[in-house]
Amino acid sequence: MKAGQRRQPQSLSHLTGRHPPLNAVPSPRVLSAPLVVEFPFTRSLGPVQSAFLSGLRDRTVLGVQASDGRVVVPPTEYDPVTSEEIRDLVEVGQEGTVTTWSWNGSPRRGQPLRHPFAWVLVRLDGADTALLHALDAPEGPDSVSTGMRVRIRWAADRAGTITDIACFEPAGDSFEPAGEREPATLPEPHTGEFADPVTGIVAPARLDYTYTPGRAQSRYLDALATHRTLGERCPRCHKVYVPPRGACPTCGVPTGEQVEVGPRGTVTTFCVVNIKARGVDIDVPYVYAHIALDGAGLALHGRIAGIPYDQVRMGLRVEPVWAESGRYPDHYRPTGEPDADYETYKELL
Amino acid sequence: MSGQTRPGSGKEPVGVVGIGQTKHVSARRDVSIAGLVREAAARALQDAELGWADIDAVVIGKAPDFFEGVMMPELYLADALGAVGKPMLRVHTAGSVGGSTALVAAGLVAARVHRTVLTLAFEKQSESNAMWGLSLPVPFQQPLLAGAGGFFAPHVRAYMHRTSAPDHIGALVAYKDRRNALRNPYAHLHEEDITLEKVRSSPMLWDPIRYSETCPSSDGACAMVLTDRAGAARAPRPPAWVHGGAMRSEPTLFAGKDAVSPRAGSDCAADVYRQAGITEPRREIDAVEMYVPFSWYEPMWLENLGFAEEGEGWKLTESGATELDGDLPVNPSGGVLSTNPIGASGMIRFAEAALQVRGAAGAHQVAGARRALGHAYGGGSQFFAMWLVGTEPPGT
């Protein structure tokens, strides 16, 4: 395509979402809910990061000397050019020069400062590489520039993490003059040894999602609210998917036809759980089972109760028991019917 | 490349000339993730007597990033693996990833894209909790009521029902693998005082799976150097030659899924055997390293991989054929039941198969092993990866 041709709106039309849905089933309201994924990872540091973070705790910034003589800050364990192990630690200055920056006008949770600040790459005096951190610049973006001099503002409470450097702050008047201005004493060899070294950190991670289960699952969930289980039949293989997915994973075609299944079903296989699963508040032992609801093309899972756990068996006929609250059946209990023959459910395990 | 085609010049033969592992343990608190992978990679290079400059590309694999909470760790590991200035690829196929990573690396050599490739897989489970990483509370969905073992235990019961296998088979597998592990200095679990009775009397966690029939949680890495015919000719030690390799996938859940003997697994094995010219796997294969995270998966995979007829896998286990001195040793290294750094577990299977045909497996060497199968699976029996390695170059 030649420059200047205005094809873009057309070529993007498939991304704009204005097409009607592929199948003709009326769309229900589509559900969504927050999904927060959060975990405190326990990171072991190894010798080089241990020295670096122990140093920060003790208000000392360490780098490592690479094979070509450059000083790398923060230090790495392996040479960025030769890949050889590098362990010659050096101490660098606590003032440095901004090599580039970006203004952050609306800080988010967990960022170093709550008010607007600049992300900066700072080459500390004596270092050859730059460190990423925050610059507290209360006078706004107009007060920040590449080449400006900054200094470390240490956190009051330091524990051996990168946030022991609370942030950087402007170091007064001076732009770095052309040529070397660094104190002759830096970088200075350092053993990397500290009393009571930091050997691990806890790295809390948090991701905030908005989860939407889509149209097919939303229809299924709406039906569950009235204690009905709704699946979808594949037009090609005729299997009924519960829960429905909007498409058949085997045939790769949309599944539009709604089919009510159950409420009764057959225990196709199971295990007896003797240890508590994380986040599950059920007294052990209990039975976790695969249950093929009558009419369904595959089994779903649930808990079996109303019968001693050691009397549950493959082929047991069960029905759902709903609690006052809860989106899904609380458990399934025996119906009293004769057990199903293995041949009737052997492909629904 | 020249447009001329030499007779028989299809794929470049691929040789495994270097293998390295860490000593697998529950927590390597003395090293970073970079330090851990470095250790395995350096040992593989040492085995091949090569330096970082001899490597043309790096292919790395691990299980979900959630397991350590380092997003795209391959970016941070480039300098630890000598990948600066070279192509680096990351592979992810859940628990089978160690196997599929090796296959991606082998494909690069076979296609003559690169001559010598370093491939590596790792997991540092001590930095997180894999069960947490696998059981995120997805809104609107019914939570899994049973944990990882509870996910697999109903499939084991289905296998037992289908084949009328007696209850004690699982314990036999665990007892064998734990004894084999005592011969492998890199294995995580070294239970010096293991007895069959101890396995059989260990707590029943997810009936029918007992505690001693489950895998541990490990920190570890495994690396291999793969090279072409010319590279193999220069290698200081005998190479293992790749005779076949394949991957297959299928959904975790679909109508008609056979969780006891997934079709993706049997199709994958059939493809590998076809490439390697194997028609009777039981007779022609001398050692198997298969991914057995719960003991009963040994008889299940024996059937799925064509070593036994349907319903007969447990009889092979019961007969002692899969013991180290049997005629089809399975997991001479001690297997996943003794060592499980999840992302690395598949590559350890592939590497241990290669060690066997190189005659380099030490105290767990299968005497005279000339052809060995490495097998990995992952997800809810969703991804499969396998290779067959031999002492002789392919086509000879």
Chain A (206-225) residues lying within 8 Å, Cβ to Cβ, of chain B: 211, 213, 217, 221
The one-letter code for the residue type at A268 is T
Q: Give just the sign of the alpha carbon dihedral A326, A328, A330, A335.
A: positive
CA distance, residue A209 to nearest chain B CA (Å): 10
B329 DSSP 8-state letter: -
Residue A7 has pLDDT above 50, yes or no: no
| Average pLDDT of the residues in B251-274 | 96
Same domain, A57 and A173: yes
Whether the CB-CB separation of B150 and A288 falls below 8 Å is answered with yes
- Quick one: closest CA in A to B209, which residue? A271
The one-letter code for the residue type at B354 is A
Whether the CB-CB separation of B21 and B61 falls below 8 Å is answered with no
| Average pLDDT of the residues in B361-365 | 98
> Is some CB atom of chain A closer than 8 A to the CB atom of B367?
no
> Is some CB atom of chain B closer than 8 A to the CB atom of A311?
no
> Is some CB atom of chain A closer than 8 A to the CB atom of B29?
yes
pLDDT at A11: 37
Whether the CB-CB separation of B174 and B337 falls below 8 Å is answered with yes
Q: How many CA atoms lie within 13 A of B348 on its CB side?
A: 35
B318 DSSP 8-state letter: H
Query: What digits encode the pLDDT tens for the residues B19-74?
Result: 999 999 999 999 999 999 999 999 999 999 999 999 999 999 999 998 898 989 99
Cis peptide before A213 (omega within 30 of 0): no
Same domain, A62 and A165: yes
- Quick one: closest CA in A to B29, which residue? A44
How is residue A249 written in tokens?
A: 């994973």
Same domain, A192 and A268: no
**Residue position matching structure tokens 């052990």:** A284
What is the rounded CA–CA span in Å between residue B376 and residue B98? 8
Query: What digits encode the pLDDT tens for the residues B266-312?
Result: 999 999 999 999 999 999 999 999 999 999 999 999 999 999 999 99
Domain contains B1: no
What residues of chain B lie within 8 A of the CB of A199, using their CB?
Answer: 29-30
- Quick one: closest CA in A to B158, which residue? A269
> Is some CB atom of chain A closer than 8 A to the CB atom of B157?
yes
What is the rounded CA–CA span in Å between residue B295 and residue B336? 9
Same domain, A193 and A281: no
pLDDT at B130: 76
How is residue A172 written in tokens?
A: 């007064």
Q: In what order do the strands lie in the sheet with A257-261?
A: A240-241, A229-233, A257-261
Residue A26 has pLDDT above 90, yes or no: no
Above pLDDT 70, what percent of chain B? 98
Q: How many CA atoms lie within 13 A of A271 on its CB side?
A: 27
Same domain, A79 and A174: yes
**Partner residue facing B140 (CB), from A79, A217, A280:** A217
Same domain, A130 and A274: no
Whether the CB-CB separation of B288 and B257 falls below 8 Å is answered with no
Domain contains A185: yes
Measure the CA angle with vertex A225, ends A219 and A226; round to 5°. Answer: 100
Domain end: B234, B265, B281, which one? B234
| Average pLDDT of the residues in A79-93 | 95
Angle between helices B297-304 and B147-163 (to 10 degrees): 60
Residues whose CB is less than 8 angstroms from the CB of residue B38 and which lie 6 or more positions away in sequence, other chains included: A77, A78, A85, B80, B81
**Partner residue facing A44 (CB), from B32, B208, B255:** B32
Same domain, B366 and B276: yes
pLDDT at A324: 86
Query: What digits encode the pLDDT tens for the residues B88-101?
Result: 999 999 999 999 99
- Quick one: closest CA in B to A328, which residue? B142
Higher pLDDT, A1 or B80: B80
Average pLDDT, rounded, for chain B: 94
Domain contains A301: yes
Domain end: B172, B205, B234, which one? B234
The one-letter code for the residue type at B74 is E
Helices (runs of H) and strands (runs of E) counted in chain B:
14, 11
> Is some CB atom of chain B closer than 8 A to the CB atom of A65?
no
CA distance, residue A42 to nearest chain B CA (Å): 5
Same domain, B229 and B322: no
Domain end: A181, A198, A215, which one? A198
**Partner residue facing A250 (CB), from B132, B136, B256:** B256
Chain B (306-325) residues lying within 8 Å, Cβ to Cβ, of chain A: none
Phi, then psi, of B104 in degrees rounded to 5? -65, -45
pLDDT at A21: 44
Residues whose CB is less than 8 angstroms from the CB of residue A124 and which lie 6 or more positions away in sequence, other chains included: A61, A63, A73, A92, A93, A94, A95, A96, A131
How does residue A173 score in pLDDT terms, banded at 50, 70 and 90?
A: low
Same domain, B93 and B198: no
What is the rounded CA–CA span in Å between residue B308 and residue B321? 11
What is the rounded CA–CA span in Å between residue B298 and residue B103? 23
Q: What CATH number corresponds to the domain at position B88?
A: 3.40.47.10
Same domain, B109 and B202: no
pLDDT at B391: 98
- For A45-70, give one letter per residue: b (16+ CB within 10 A) or e: bbbbbbbbbbbbbeebbbbbbbeeeb
Same domain, A54 and A194: yes
pLDDT at B136: 78
Domain contains A252: no
> Is some CB atom of chain A closer than 8 A to the CB atom of B1?
no
Same domain, A61 and A177: yes
Domain end: A198, A213, A237, which one? A198
Same domain, B188 and B89: no
How does residue A184 score in pLDDT terms, banded at 50, 70 and 90?
A: low
Domain end: A146, A168, A198, which one? A198
Above pLDDT 90, what percent of chain A? 78
What residues of chain B lie within 8 A of the CB of A41, using their CB?
Answer: 68-69, 127-128
How is residue B181 written in tokens?
A: 């592990």
Chain A (246-265) residues lying within 8 Å, Cβ to Cβ, of chain B: 248-250
- Which neighbouring-strand residues pair with B214? B294
Under an 8 A CB cutoff, do B153 and A271 touch?
A: yes
Helices (H), chain A: 8-11, 46-57, 214-224, 342-345
Same domain, A187 and A307: no
Under an 8 A CB cutoff, do B255 and A241 touch?
A: yes
Q: Which domain holds residue A82?
A: 46-198
Higher pLDDT, A25 or B137: B137
Phi, then psi, of A61 in degrees rounded to 5? -105, 120
What is the rounded CA–CA span in Å between residue B337 and residue A339? 36
Whether the CB-CB separation of A317 and A339 falls below 8 Å is answered with yes
Domain contains A310: yes
Q: Give just the sign of the alpha carbon dihedral B306, B309, B314, B317.
A: negative
Residues whose CB is less than 8 angstroms from the CB of residue A348 and which lie 6 or more positions away in sequence, other chains included: A266, A268, A290, A292, A296, A297, A298, A299
Cα–Cα distances in angstroms (integers) from residue B203 to residues A273, B210, B213, B333, B337, in the given order: 11, 6, 10, 25, 16
Same domain, B36 and B98: yes
Average pLDDT, rounded, for chain A: 89
Under an 8 A CB cutoff, do A298 and B161 touch?
A: no
Same domain, B202 and B308: yes
- Quick one: closest CA in B to A280, which residue? B145
Measure the CA angle with vertex B194, ends B192 and B195; round to 5°. Answer: 145
Phi, then psi, of B271 in degrees rounded to 5? -65, -45
Cis peptide before A243 (omega within 30 of 0): yes
What is the rounded CA–CA span in Å between residue A208 and residue A194? 38
Cis peptide before A187 (omega within 30 of 0): yes
Q: How many CA atoms lie within 13 A of B344 on its CB side?
A: 36
Under an 8 A CB cutoff, do A274 and B206 touch?
A: yes
How does residue A22 score in pLDDT terms, banded at 50, 70 and 90?
A: very low
pLDDT at B143: 77
Residue B111 has pLDDT above 60, yes or no: yes
pLDDT at A5: 42
Same domain, B56 and B161: no
Lowest mean pLDDT segment, chosen from A32-36, A156-160, B239-243, B369-373 = A32-36
CA distance, residue B106 to nearest chain A CA (Å): 23
- Which neighbouring-strand residues pair with B204? B210
User: How many residue pairs bridge chain A and chain B with CB atoms within 8 Å of each other?
Assistant: 188
Whether the CB-CB separation of B221 and B32 falls below 8 Å is answered with no
Same domain, A191 and A53: yes
What's the number of domains chain B is made of? 2
Domain contains B110: yes
The one-letter code for the residue type at A328 is Y
Domain contains A251: no
Residue B9 has pLDDT above 70, yes or no: no
Q: Residues in chain A, how many? A: 349
- The complex's ipTM works out to 0.92
pLDDT at B149: 78
What is the rounded CA–CA span in Å between residue A75 and residue A128? 11
CA distance, residue B264 to nearest chain A CA (Å): 13
Residue B3 has pLDDT above 70, yes or no: no
Cα–Cα distances in angstroms (integers) from residue B355 to residues A207, B96, B276, B289, in the given order: 42, 19, 18, 11
**Partner residue facing B35 (CB), from A77, A300, A314:** A77
Domain contains B364: yes
Query: What digits encode the pLDDT tens for the residues B302-332?
Result: 999 999 999 999 999 999 999 999 999 999 9
Query: By three-state DSSP, how is residue A83 classified?
Result: coil
Same domain, B351 and B378: yes
Query: What digits encode the pLDDT tens for the residues A214-268?
Result: 989 999 999 999 999 999 999 999 999 999 999 999 999 999 899 999 999 999 9
CA distance, residue A275 to nearest chain B CA (Å): 6
Residue A4 has pLDDT above 50, yes or no: no
Query: By three-state DSSP, how is residue B146 classified?
Result: coil
Same domain, A156 and A53: yes
Phi, then psi, of B222 in degrees rounded to 5? -140, 140
What's the number of domains chain A is made of? 2
Best of B32, B54, B56, B294 to mutate (most A CBs within 10 Å, chain A): B32
Residues whose CB is less than 8 angstroms from the CB of residue B125 and which lie 6 or more positions away in sequence, other chains included: B26, B67, B217, B218, B219, B340, B341, B342
**Residue position matching structure tokens 């299924």:** A220
Same domain, B222 and B322: no
How is residue A156 written in tokens?
A: 């009051």
**Partner residue facing B255 (CB), from A250, A269, A273:** A250
The one-letter code for the residue type at B68 is E
What residues of chain A lie within 8 A of the CB of B204, using their CB?
Answer: 272, 274
Domain contains A329: yes
Q: What CATH number corresponds to the domain at position A329?
A: 2.40.50
What residues of chain B lie within 8 A of the CB of A39, using their CB?
Answer: 66, 69, 128-129, 132-133
- For A233-261, give one letter per residue: b (16+ CB within 10 A) or e: bbeebebbbbbbbbbbbbeeebbbebbeb
Same domain, B170 and B225: no
pTM of the model: 0.92
Above pLDDT 70, what percent of chain A? 88
What residues of chain B lie within 8 A of the CB of A231, using their CB?
Answer: none
Q: Which domain holds residue B312?
A: 147-214+244-390
B244 DSSP 8-state letter: E
pLDDT at B20: 98
Same domain, B114 and B262: no
Query: What digits encode the pLDDT tens for the residues B125-179?
Result: 999 877 777 777 888 988 777 777 788 999 999 999 999 999 999 999 999 999 9
What is the rounded CA–CA span in Å between residue B338 and residue A257? 48
